[in-house]
A and B are shown apart, each in its own frame.
Chain A
Amino acid sequence: MSRQCALLLPRVCAALADPRQPGSDDTCLEKMLDWFRELREGEPTEKLLQDNPCLTEFFSSVLALPEPNPSILSFTLRLAGILAAAEDCFQHLQQRQLLVRLFGEGGPLSSAAWEDASVRSGWVEGVHSMVQHQPALHFICSGGGIDVVFTLQGDPSLFVASAASRLLVHMLTLSVGPEVTLPLNAKDCDWPACAQMIVKHIEDSLQSSSASHIKQSLKLLTSLFGSCQATWTKVLWLGVAKQVESFLTEDSVQAQHMLPDLLLNMARSPVFRDTEGSFWALVTSALEHLTPLQAGPLAVGILKLFQCPQDVRIQALTVLLQPMDCILRAASQPLEYAGLVDESVSDPSTVENLLSSKSSCASLLCQTLAHLEELLSVAYLRVDLPSATLVRSVVIILQFCNGLLIPASPLGSKISQILIGCFRVQRSALDALAALSQWKRCDTVVESLFDVLLAYLESPNTSPTVLKKSFQAMAKWLVHLLHKSFKKQRQTEKSLQDVLLVLQKRLCSPCWEVRDSSLEFLTKLIACLRDQDEFRQSLLSSEVPKLTENLLEDPESYVRASAVTAVGHLAFLTYFFFPESPVAGNQYNKENTVAKLQEILSTDPEVFPRRAVMSIFTMWLQQCCTGELEETERFVSRVIQITERDLDWEVRLGCLEMVQIFTIYMFCRFGLPECPYTPVPSAVTSSISWCEPLQIFCRVKLFGFLFRSLCDCDKPVGQKACDILLALKSHFCQSSMIDSQGSGDLAAGRGIPWLQRTLRQGSLAENFSTGGGNGVDFEDPESMMLALRTIDFEELHSDLNKCSDHVEKSPQSLLEDILAAVGTIEENEADCY
């Protein structure tokens, strides 16, 4: 602890223990606790207590208060716990009877303050911090503290209850210790005393008739098996296994819903998963006995496991596929296609009942679809998903939801009646359908899939969020199929035409969310399919490009932003990427688009369209499609000119990103190394001097922008500018070492010291804007060369990287803040008199 802090601490402690204070800011108290945790790690804690007797005095004075402030009392308990975590410190506090008074029966436990949840929470946290060594463990177990923890498991405050459960797990783990080897027999097991108490508590609770006690113990076990993978956990399990198993079939306890988490945590632990059949038999039994809604999460967890018996995996998959199978069966009678599940091994009646009930149908389907989507994203799934049949069943769900399907069975009629117009299921089904596009062997159902997606895209009843998801699913499937075999798939081609037609209509929708998601869809299609001739031709011969351009003037800023992105991609498609493409309407030319986007950048009152323009410009430059060198130079110069005064830091940052690309582009062009974007062979330009890029940079007013950005009030902008300047320095200063040493320094150096000074002080951006740089000529290559050489950008860089509150974050500042708050109160008191 620093001397200044040591001097401040007694006053702070006194202030905190002063009952007249209304209670300090919680954030300050939390920060103080963090500080003590750091201190404990840094120096011997006993010395800390000895050097700062104010701490023990603080504990005593808080304990002496008749009605302590709950937040201060909670803080006191937690602080004492942190300090007592070190054994020597524990002894120090014990000798002064402080721990007994704080955590024992006569302390806050029996006071009125205990009613306050924050005090109980402080007690549990304090004990948790303290119990890091056997003496502390003994202190809690023998002093009756453990019974308090048991009780707090059922605390009305969920935070306290959960902390108590965690504390028990911690105590049990500490009590048994990592090295202890126990006989693998629950009866003969000689648990250490504390562990014995906890294990007995668990066993007793599980056997009790109280549902809440049972649930607490199941929670504790879940948490234990999730965090501890020592072999003794198995011994503990053996003692309770039968009891837990009985909960699967006993309805009276209502604890079934807690079992999936418990079993999953066990399945993830090597202690259990490697054992022979009994545990997996329990999992299988759980998959059978739990309701489909409860078994779903267990099944999906099992399927994601790497190590698991294959038969259990198949059983888990059956649980997930059963609702989808029922859907298939409900839609066609007799079944036209192979089902998903072998009916001889699984009874569909439970799932059918759930699906025909209004209250559970949507929940079950949404959960199942979400689980399937989750599984589809798992890279190495150890079972085969029948993706084609799954697609069919998801398509059927979507058909049910918009009344397209004529069900052939009574169950189908019931499901259809429940699902019609159900947005929740529509959304989940569309998500699952989109995820299924990544899987192979789905092509057989493509026709009905496109039909149903088109129906959703066309229907005026589709809600904006469902429409957005329909677009996403359609985009994924179109991209997947067009990439695969465009020419073979007439259906896909026709679907594309239909999609473009519906897109035209949706681009004119009065609902802005619809226009926005239509534009996003278009952008996605162009980005993924721009190298497909058929796609380009269909798109460019439709009305879509014209309607998209109209939306650049949309009243809604989000739509304008999406329109900017779409037009940017369209432009790329039409005249940069494939200049020979036929273009609809003669108003489409490059200058027009660039001018329009530049106008949005300079005049749009909202930030989103301006940010979008910057992203597009950066993309164009990255793809080298801004034209010849002179054209690109003019383009960049204009963009810098527009953007440097922009009020939005993200736009300025976007411009810096573009500038960065531009500098790399120039270096590549002029034969400098590391050229990811080389447009011309470097041999052509190798003879050109390094000066040329510098001159170009000066001409486009790049340096003025960069230096001004260094002093930007938004730090990311300054950091980016500094990165670029560092890169420029390394390029120019290395290559110009020989020929430019010293020449012209005097003439060009005017103002550079000022610039240095200014940059060191930082935040003088206004000087740049008004005074034109106090004599610095940002367009003079010599001056800029000098500036690059002279200014220490490394130092600037590390300054900029410092956290903005690095001064205010110190412990000293924290203590001063607390005292200042007290001071204010004192002043107020004086005023009152």
Chain B
Amino acid sequence: LFQYCLSGHPTLPCNVLKFKSTTIMLDCGLDMTSTLNFLPLPLVQSPRLSKLPGLVLKDGSTFLDKELKECSGHVFVDSVPEFCLPETELLDLSTVDVILISNYHCMMALPYITEYTGFTGTVYATEPTVQIGRLLMEELVNSIERVPKAQSASTWKNKEVQRLLPAPLKDAVEVSMWRKCYSMPEVNAALSKIQLVGYSQKIELFGAVQVTPLSSGYALGSSNWIIQSHYEKVSYVSGSSLLTTHPQPMDQASLKNSDVLILTGLTQIPTANPDGMVGEFCSNLAMTVRNGGNVLVPCYPSGVIYDLLECLYQYIDSAGLSNVPFYFISPVANSSLEFSQIFAEWLCHNKQTKVYLPEPPFPHAELIQTNKLKHYPSIHGDFSNDFKQPCVVFTGHPSLRFGDVVHFMELWGKSSLNTVIFTEPDFSYLDALAPYQPLAMKCVYCPIDTRLNFIQVSKLLKEVQPLHVVCPEQYTQPPPSQSHRTDLMIDCQPPPMSYRRAEVLTLPYKRRYEKIEIMPELADSLVPLEIKPGISLATVSAVLHTKDNKHVLQLPPKPPQPPTSKKRKRVSDDVPECKPLKPLLSGSIPVDQFVQTLEKHGFSDVKVEDTAKGHIVLLQEAETLIQIEEDSTHIICDNDEPLRVKLRDLVLKFLQKF
């Protein structure tokens, strides 16, 4: 059981599991934090950004001034943003048989895997995961492609050059692995390899293992996976939530009795309670709007935004914000809002029951109907006609490097009345804001991460009791910024096994059993013998037939007919030679009775000695020793075969044969 760890990001995992004869990739998350090193892509020409000075190195050289720009003490790459891919060199990715996707955030690297590595397998994911994943990819591609950038910077990536750069570029890792965004045809090709699955559906992989997605409670269609054979069970827990938000609740019971539990995708902000953060979000939003300012919420087009809109639906009337327009701007805004309403079977119970009324499960439908929430594909077109201030704008991308959010940052950044509220936990808000400094607008950090926190993990592990836990190394020590918070790490017995990027783990579990079927005819021929109450044994002589990872015991071929001709028979591959079987013995020898029997048979000088493991019966006259132990009996006599045979027969009288 091996695990190849291709990603070091604990919430954007990419692991490959070699289990029995299969190679299974678990998620393929795309680390987008690399984009924070790039300048934003403005939708309209930004004089501020275009006037930024080029980088002059300490030695005065200016050869990088076209590629790297300085802004408020930070250096940014002036190029199309690039993403950090999972490791592709650790193993040959074309050998991957299947990819299991746990949620739409963890599939963003899929086109890079399926389209660039010779991958020929199948991808398994739930329907909402695929649909919303497609929206996220579409938004990503659209945001980058609609602002074409002629320049592509690569000189700075040269190791010798990178060494000279100021932090954080100097410390950026795996820059050679950074790639530009994929294209829509690649997205479509990747998505065409996905096979849709439903919760608890059992999928056989080559007869060797069975994989099953389980609800993980984190997002629409998000799943944990069980990978099991007849005698081994590996659980893959990725991005799970125990909070009551919109998705179906997490299925914990099915994770029980795992031999190995791979735990990834815990909350990125373990100290922030999501309820408190939602409260904080609403308070800051109301405070800004009441003071006449605008609120900008950089976000993904799906996920927490549904819950935020639901909270606001309940809050805006009571807070006197009914007349404030809410705008949701994304190339996929419409699809996201509509998709959320049609995946009833993937929603929590409350929302499911609404569908039968029938009512839309999410209240954002009503917000749209009453014109309180308006959505637009981009800032161009209708939006510019309808735009009224003060207002609240939800738009992407949370990294603030591309998408419509760049425009609003440029537009509203100068006024202290406005507020930008960060709700997505994936990016450091200070790094995201760096190319916009100096900034007058207020910044509020309300990361809402509903994934498991360490207290919940501790309860979960107590409940499901896996034999071994495997997790990213980040979870085995307190966060670097809060080294005293020993409560912010996984605490379980035995201690978890940790992994880091580009590491290969031998999982701490050895396979011991394999299931083998017995053909009915063969079973009929067996004669079990009860050796202990409830335990019967039988000897089996059969042929083991293995095909598609299934093992079957069949009747042995009939003993070969005695050769009719004197020609030497050719040994056939199909019919193995069958040797006659000696019977097996079982039982124990009661020493007292054995001695009596010996005496009956004329051995008069029998002596018994006790040893650590059993007894030694001495026949002094015959110079013979009978060593009786729990699992063996030896007759040691000196070249007296008749005596040995006699003694053997006496011993065998006490034992059962079968």
Question: Is the pair A508, B484 in contact by a Cβ cutoff of 8 Å?
Answer: no
Name A residues whose Cβ lies closer than 8 Å to a Cβ of B. Answer: 403, 405-407, 413, 416-417, 420-421, 459-462, 504-506, 508-511, 514, 543, 546-547, 550, 553-556
Chain B: minimal CB distance from A653 (Å): 30
Name B residues whose Cβ lies closer than 8 Å to a Cβ of A. Answer: 271-273, 276-280, 282-284, 286-287, 290-291, 311, 314-315, 317-320, 446, 455, 482-487
Given A403-B482, A417-B486, A543-B291, A506–B283 Cβ distance below 8 Å? yes
Question: Is the pair A550, B485 in contact by a Cβ cutoff of 8 Å?
Answer: no
Chain B: minimal CB distance from A355 (Å): 16
Cα A543 to Cα B284 in complex, Å, equals 13
- By a CB distance below 8 angstroms, the chain B residues around A511 are 279
Given A413-B486, A505-B283, A506-B283, A461–B317 Cβ distance below 8 Å? no
- By a CB distance below 8 angstroms, the chain A residues around B446 are 460
Told that A406-B484, A550-B290 touch, could you supply 17 new A-B pairs with CB distance under 8 A?
Answer: A403-B482, A405-B484, A416-B485, A417-B486, A420-B485, A504-B287, A508-B284, A508-B290, A510-B282, A510-B283, A510-B311, A510-B314, A514-B279, A547-B287, A550-B320, A553-B320, A555-B318
- By a CB distance below 8 angstroms, the chain A residues around B317 are 555
Question: Is the pair B271, A403 in contact by a Cβ cutoff of 8 Å?
Answer: yes
Question: Is the pair A554, B282 in contact by a Cβ cutoff of 8 Å?
Answer: no
Most buried by A among B314, B446, B484: B484
- By a CB distance below 8 angstroms, the chain B residues around A505 are 280, 283-284, 287
Question: Is the pair B311, A461 in contact by a Cβ cutoff of 8 Å?
Answer: no
- By a CB distance below 8 angstroms, the chain B residues around A508 are 282-284, 286-287, 290, 319
Cα A420 to Cα B487 in complex, Å, equals 8
- By a CB distance below 8 angstroms, the chain A residues around B272 are 460-461
What are 15 of the A-B contact pairs (CB < 8 Å)?
Answer: A403-B484, A403-B487, A405-B484, A407-B484, A413-B486, A416-B485, A460-B272, A462-B276, A505-B283, A508-B283, A508-B290, A510-B278, A510-B283, A510-B314, A510-B319
- By a CB distance below 8 angstroms, the chain B residues around A461 are 271-273, 276
Question: Is the pair A460, B282 in contact by a Cβ cutoff of 8 Å?
Answer: no
Given A547-B290, A555-B317, A403–B485 Cβ distance below 8 Å? yes
Chain A: minimal CB distance from B446 (Å): 7
Look across to chain A and name the residue whose beta carbon is closest to the beta carbon of B271: A403
- By a CB distance below 8 angstroms, the chain B residues around A413 are 484, 486
Question: Is the pair A460, B273 in contact by a Cβ cutoff of 8 Å?
Answer: yes
Cα A556 to Cα B279 in complex, Å, equals 16
- By a CB distance below 8 angstroms, the chain A residues around B279 are 460, 509-511, 514
Look across to chain A and name the residue whose beta carbon is closest to the beta carbon of B491: A417
Contact of B315 among A504, A510, A550 (CB under 8 A): A510
Query: How many pairs of residues, A versus B, come closer than 8 Å at their CB atoms?
Result: 73
Look across to chain A and name the residue whose beta carbon is closest to the beta carbon of B277: A460
Chain B: minimal CB distance from A673 (Å): 50
Chain A: minimal CB distance from B228 (Å): 35
Question: Is the pair B485, A509 in contact by a Cβ cutoff of 8 Å?
Answer: no
- By a CB distance below 8 angstroms, the chain B residues around A510 are 278-279, 282-283, 311, 314-315, 318-319
Chain B: minimal CB distance from A303 (Å): 35
Cα A779 to Cα B291 in complex, Å, equals 49
Cα A396 to Cα B205 in complex, Å, equals 57
- By a CB distance below 8 angstroms, the chain A residues around B282 are 508-510
Cα A407 to Cα B483 in complex, Å, equals 10
Look across to chain A and name the residue whose beta carbon is closest to the beta carbon of B285: A508
Chain A: minimal CB distance from B256 (Å): 25
Question: Is the pair B276, A554 in contact by a Cβ cutoff of 8 Å?
Answer: no
Cα A403 to Cα B486 in complex, Å, equals 10
- By a CB distance below 8 angstroms, the chain B residues around A554 are 318
Look across to chain B and name the residue whose beta carbon is closest to the beta carbon of A418: B487
Look across to chain A and name the residue whose beta carbon is closest to the beta carbon of B314: A510
Question: Is the pair A417, B487 in contact by a Cβ cutoff of 8 Å?
Answer: yes
Cα A480 to Cα B320 in complex, Å, equals 36
Cα A60 to Cα B485 in complex, Å, equals 76
Chain A: minimal CB distance from B424 (Å): 16
- By a CB distance below 8 angstroms, the chain A residues around B283 are 505-506, 508-510
Cα A509 to Cα B315 in complex, Å, equals 9
Cα A556 to Cα B315 in complex, Å, equals 12
- By a CB distance below 8 angstroms, the chain B residues around A506 are 283
Cα A554 to Cα B319 in complex, Å, equals 7
Chain A: minimal CB distance from B185 (Å): 44
Cα A632 to Cα B562 in complex, Å, equals 130
Given A403-B482, A403-B485, A416-B484, A459–B318 Cβ distance below 8 Å? no
Look across to chain B and name the residue whose beta carbon is closest to the beta carbon of A407: B484
Cα A416 to Cα B488 in complex, Å, equals 12
- By a CB distance below 8 angstroms, the chain B residues around A405 are 484
Chain A: minimal CB distance from B291 (Å): 6
Look across to chain B and name the residue whose beta carbon is closest to the beta carbon of A403: B485
Chain B: minimal CB distance from A315 (Å): 35
Q: Which 9 A-B pairs have the closest CB atoms?
A: A460-B276, A508-B286, A460-B280, A508-B283, A510-B282, A555-B318, A406-B484, A461-B276, A505-B283
- By a CB distance below 8 angstroms, the chain A residues around B315 are 510
Cα A547 to Cα B289 in complex, Å, equals 12
Look across to chain B and name the residue whose beta carbon is closest to the beta carbon of A502: B283
Look across to chain A and name the residue whose beta carbon is closest to the beta carbon of B319: A508
- By a CB distance below 8 angstroms, the chain B residues around A509 are 279, 282-283
Cα A511 to Cα B314 in complex, Å, equals 11
Cα A510 to Cα B319 in complex, Å, equals 8
- By a CB distance below 8 angstroms, the chain A residues around B487 are 403, 416-417, 420
Cα A294 to Cα B383 in complex, Å, equals 70
Cα A773 to Cα B283 in complex, Å, equals 54
- By a CB distance below 8 angstroms, the chain A residues around B485 are 403, 416, 420
Look across to chain B and name the residue whose beta carbon is closest to the beta carbon of A554: B318
Chain B: minimal CB distance from A718 (Å): 39
- By a CB distance below 8 angstroms, the chain B residues around A421 are 455
Look across to chain B and name the residue whose beta carbon is closest to the beta carbon of A462: B276
- By a CB distance below 8 angstroms, the chain A residues around B287 are 504-505, 508, 543, 547
Cα A413 to Cα B478 in complex, Å, equals 12
Chain A: minimal CB distance from B443 (Å): 14
Chain B: minimal CB distance from A422 (Å): 11
Chain A: minimal CB distance from B425 (Å): 14
Chain A: minimal CB distance from B564 (Å): 84
Chain A: minimal CB distance from B138 (Å): 33
Cα A420 to Cα B317 in complex, Å, equals 36
- By a CB distance below 8 angstroms, the chain B residues around A556 are 318
Chain A: minimal CB distance from B436 (Å): 24
Cα A511 to Cα B286 in complex, Å, equals 13
Cα A514 to Cα B279 in complex, Å, equals 10
- By a CB distance below 8 angstroms, the chain B residues around A417 are 486-487
Chain A: minimal CB distance from B330 (Å): 25
Chain A: minimal CB distance from B445 (Å): 10
- By a CB distance below 8 angstroms, the chain A residues around B483 are 406
Cα A213 to Cα B305 in complex, Å, equals 66
- By a CB distance below 8 angstroms, the chain A residues around B276 are 459-462
Cα A420 to Cα B273 in complex, Å, equals 13
Cα A554 to Cα B318 in complex, Å, equals 6
Chain B: minimal CB distance from A663 (Å): 40
Cα A757 to Cα B290 in complex, Å, equals 59
Cα A450 to Cα B425 in complex, Å, equals 30
Cα A406 to Cα B482 in complex, Å, equals 8
Cα A471 to Cα B580 in complex, Å, equals 90
- By a CB distance below 8 angstroms, the chain B residues around A420 are 485, 487
Most buried by B among A405, A505, A543: A505
- By a CB distance below 8 angstroms, the chain A residues around B320 are 550, 553
Chain B: minimal CB distance from A479 (Å): 25
Cα A186 to Cα B271 in complex, Å, equals 65
Cα A808 to Cα B446 in complex, Å, equals 64
Chain A: minimal CB distance from B275 (Å): 8
Cα A679 to Cα B485 in complex, Å, equals 62
- By a CB distance below 8 angstroms, the chain A residues around B277 are 460
Cα A622 to Cα B589 in complex, Å, equals 108
Cα A536 to Cα B330 in complex, Å, equals 47
Chain A: minimal CB distance from B312 (Å): 9
Cα A553 to Cα B290 in complex, Å, equals 14
Chain B: minimal CB distance from A119 (Å): 49
